[in-house]
């Protein structure tokens, strides 16, 4: 199968729209449910108070699921005298419902990056991930030329909804249900739904390796450096860092200590390589001293460092950075320049 969305055979045993709404209500009893919802022309990832609010669509919310797993700012521990009090992640369980394939790919990377992070892992233990089969198809998305039948084996989710058509309010659609974890199976069993198929995770990368286009970009950046690309971009980039904030795979953070006479707190906050203090070391020296160096570092991180470290592309092609850039920098155009260098 080679198309821009995943099609699933609809059989009489599939979950109906009515059953799905009951399932969402079941989840809301014990968990906070987050899902895509329409706000005018935009789609936002927001808390669900009514199952009819959910909009299962190929349109990506501007702000991704990342904030629900990697908090924008969180206290890691508090010290009081000689006592260290480790903070816990949000106490209540949560469900992230309706992640598109693009964001599920980003989740695979975050799971690798924070594999040994106890705060992330505790939050993941309290999270049920429910994906859905739509592949975003608008003028922003790229790296999405084909999806093979075994694609689900390389995504991480607890439950996956195979859908034939976008689902809006009042429409009656059927869902083919897949599970990707014991947690997903247990939740469906508790709900009383048995008609699901289990997909075993086979690792983030297919046997044939990384996407050839990703390899080409990596090799071009690593072995055919073209400084003019970054000098040109450095003249228009305003170093706002918006691209890092909306990117579902940017994972850089700062550690800050706040102290008083009684003790203090250690805080982890999102950061960006575009911020002035990001590369500053003792004595005031900055490794990323110019805008050109900062934007080159951002692309190097996504297309060279992350593939080298995790054997996984650091960009999933969501196009969110294009949507928010006030300078009009288009990552697709930059990639074409890199390929031609």
Q: Are residues 152 and 105 in the same domain?
A: yes
- CB-based contact 20:54 (threshold 8 Å): no
Say what the pLDDT of residue 173 is: 62
For the cut 80, the answer to whether the pLDDT of residue 172 exceeds it is no
3-state secondary structure (DSSP) of residue 335:
helix
DSSP string, 84-129: EEEPPPPSSEEEEEEE-HHHHHHHHHHHHHTTT-HHHHHHHHTEEE
Q: What's the whole-number mean pLDDT along residues 31-38?
A: 95
- Report yes or no on 10 lying in a domain: no
Looking at 173, 198, 223, the residue that finishes a domain is: 198
Q: Are residues 257 and 300 in the same domain?
A: yes
- Report yes or no on 207 lying in a domain: no
Say what the pLDDT of residue 2 is: 34
Half-sphere exposure of 126 (CA within 13 A, CB side): 18
For the cut 90, the answer to whether the pLDDT of residue 158 exceeds it is yes
Q: Are residues 36 and 183 in the same domain?
A: yes
Q: Are residues 186 and 225 in the same domain?
A: no
Q: Are residues 168 and 83 in the same domain?
A: yes
- Report yes or no on 48 lying in a domain: yes
In tens, the pLDDT along 260-284 reads 888 899 999 999 999 988 888 888 7
- Report yes or no on 4 lying in a domain: no
- Report yes or no on 318 lying in a domain: yes
For the cut 80, the answer to whether the pLDDT of residue 166 exceeds it is no
Q: Are residues 53 and 109 in the same domain?
A: yes
For the CA atoms of 187, 191, 195, 196, the dihedral, rounded to the nearest 10 degrees, stands at -20
Q: Are residues 278 and 309 in the same domain?
A: yes
> For the chain, how many residues are written?
341
Say what the pLDDT of residue 7 is: 47
Q: State how many domains the chain has.
A: 2
Say what the pLDDT of residue 225 is: 92
- Report yes or no on 111 lying in a domain: yes
- CB-based contact 77:86 (threshold 8 Å): yes
168-182, 204-218, 244-258: segment of lowest average pLDDT: 168-182
3-state secondary structure (DSSP) of residue 162:
strand
Q: Are residues 52 and 187 in the same domain?
A: yes
Q: Is 58 left (phi over 0), alpha (psi -120 to 50) or beta?
A: alpha
In tens, the pLDDT along 313-322 reads 899 999 999 9
In tens, the pLDDT along 280-299 reads 888 878 898 999 999 999 99
Domain that holds residue 317: 212-340
For the CA atoms of 290, 292, 298, 301, the dihedral, rounded to the nearest 10 degrees, stands at -90
Q: Are residues 173 and 243 in the same domain?
A: no
Looking at 170, 198, 226, the residue that finishes a domain is: 198
Phi, psi of 264 (to 5 degrees): 180, -175
3-state secondary structure 176-234: EEEECCHHHHHHHHHHCCCCEEECCCCCCCCCCCCCHHHHHHHHHHHHCCCHHHHHHHH
- Report yes or no on 12 lying in a domain: no
Q: Are residues 193 and 262 in the same domain?
A: no
Looking at 149, 165, 198, the residue that finishes a domain is: 198
Q: How far, in Å, CA of 141 to CA of 124, rounded?
A: 27
User: What is the pLDDT of the chain when averaged over all its residues?
Assistant: 87
Q: What's the whole-number mean pLDDT along residues 37-60?
A: 90
- Report yes or no on 40 lying in a domain: yes
Q: Are residues 216 and 143 in the same domain?
A: no
Q: Are residues 228 and 130 in the same domain?
A: no
């Amino acid at each position: 199968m080679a198309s821009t969305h995943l099609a699933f055979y609809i059989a009489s045993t599939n979950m109906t729209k009515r059953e799905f709404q009951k399932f969402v209500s079941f989840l809301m009893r014990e968990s906070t449910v987050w899902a895509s919802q329409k706000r005018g022309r935009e789609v936002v990832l927001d808390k669900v108070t009514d199952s009819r609010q959910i909009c299962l669509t190929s349109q990506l919310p501007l702000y991704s699921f990342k904030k629900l797993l990697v908090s924008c700012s969180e206290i890691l521990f508090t010290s009081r005298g000689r006592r260290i009090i480790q903070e816990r992640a949000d106490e209540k369980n949560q469900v992230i419902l309706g992640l598109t394939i693009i964001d599920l790919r980003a989740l695979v990377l975050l799971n690798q990056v924070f594999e040994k992070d106890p705060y992330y892992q505790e939050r993941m233990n309290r999270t049920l991930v429910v994906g859905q089969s739509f592949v975003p198809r608008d003028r922003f998305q790229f790296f999405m030329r084909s999806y093979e039948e075994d694609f689900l084996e390389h995504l991480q989710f607890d439950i996956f909804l195979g859908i034939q058509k976008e689902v809006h309010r009042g429409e009656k659609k059927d869902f083919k249900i897949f599970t990707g974890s014991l947690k997903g199976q247990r939740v469906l069993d508790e709900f009383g739904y048995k008609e699901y198929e289990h997909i075993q995770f086979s690792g983030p990368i297919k046997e044939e390796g990384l996407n050839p286009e990703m390899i080409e970009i990596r090799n071009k950046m690593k072995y055919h450096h073209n400084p003019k690309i970054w000098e040109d971009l450095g003249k228009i980039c305003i170093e706002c860092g918006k691209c890092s904030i909306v990117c579902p795979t940017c994972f850089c953070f700062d550690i800050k200590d706040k102290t008083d006479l009684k003790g203090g707190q250690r805080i982890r906050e999102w950061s960006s390589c575009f911020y002035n203090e990001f590369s500053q070391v003792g004595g005031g020296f900055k490794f990323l001293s110019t805008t050109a160096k900062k934007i080159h570092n951002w692309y190097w991180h996504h297309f060279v460092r992350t593939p080298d470290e995790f054997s996984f592309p650091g960009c999933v092609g969501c196009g969110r950075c294009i949507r928010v850039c006030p300078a009009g920098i288009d990552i697709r155009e930059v990639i074409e320049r890199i390929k031609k260098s």
